[in-house]
């Protein structure tokens, strides 16, 4: 969650317990249609670890996490999509290809602005003052060559060439 680069979890097998906790730590999740997701730890007398429940509550809401961690509900990929636990559901065997294609599209975006947006979202999820960070990030990006490249490419209708400077 603290990586500068966006992360995409590829869920080609069930994401139960630690598997879901790891997936929740990623920015995006692509699931194959056949998988199941949940926090079944309480069925064996333990609680989800690695801050999985806290992160999941911030991402999906308390009631969804309560249903899985306390109520023991296991959800299929289609329901996980409706609950915003996963971002995309694809046919079995297609998740990695979908994630690679999505990552390619993300990689075309302004890298500094993408990193700043990711930071602002993380802060808005409950860690610090989102407004102060957004102002700081916007001010920082305004001083970079990347903003000139992005705005210039918009005006000329050409693909931007970002320098990360």
Catalytic (active-site) positions? 21, 41
Q: Using CA atoms, how far apart are residues 56 and 43, in angstroms rounded to an integer? A: 19
Q: Please list the residues that pair with 30 across neighbouring strands.
A: 10, 88
Burial 13-52 (b: 16+ CB within 10 A, else e): eebbbebbbebbbbbbbbbbeebbbbbbbeeeeeebeeeb
Instruction: Say how many C-beta atoms besides its own lie within 10 A of residue 146's C-beta.
Output: 20
Whether 11 contacts 95, CB under 8 Å = yes
Q: Are residues 64 and 50 in contact, defined by beta-carbon separation less than 8 angstroms?
A: no
Residue recorded with tokens 């993408």: 114
Cα gap 16→75, rounded to integer Å: 10
């Amino acid at each position: 969650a603290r990586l500068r680069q966006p992360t995409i979890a590829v869920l080609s097998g069930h994401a139960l317990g630690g598997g879901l906790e790891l997936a929740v730590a990623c920015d995006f999740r692509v699931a194959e249609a056949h998988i199941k997701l949940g926090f079944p730890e309480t069925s064996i007398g333990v609680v989800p670890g690695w801050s999985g429940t806290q992160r999941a509550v911030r991402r999906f809401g308390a009631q969804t996490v309560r249903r899985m961690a306390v109520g023991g509900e296991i959800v299929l990929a289609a329901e996980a999509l409706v609950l915003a636990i996963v971002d995309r559901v694809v046919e079995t065997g297609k998740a990695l290809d979908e994630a690679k294609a999505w990552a390619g599209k993300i990689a075309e975006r302004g890298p500094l602005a993408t990193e700043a947006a990711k930071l602002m979202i993380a802060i808005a999820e409950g860690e610090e003052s989102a407004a102060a960070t957004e102002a700081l990030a916007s001010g920082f990006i305004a001083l970079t060559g990347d903003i000139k490249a992005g705005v210039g490419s918009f005006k000329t209708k050409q693909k931007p060439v970002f320098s990360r400077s």
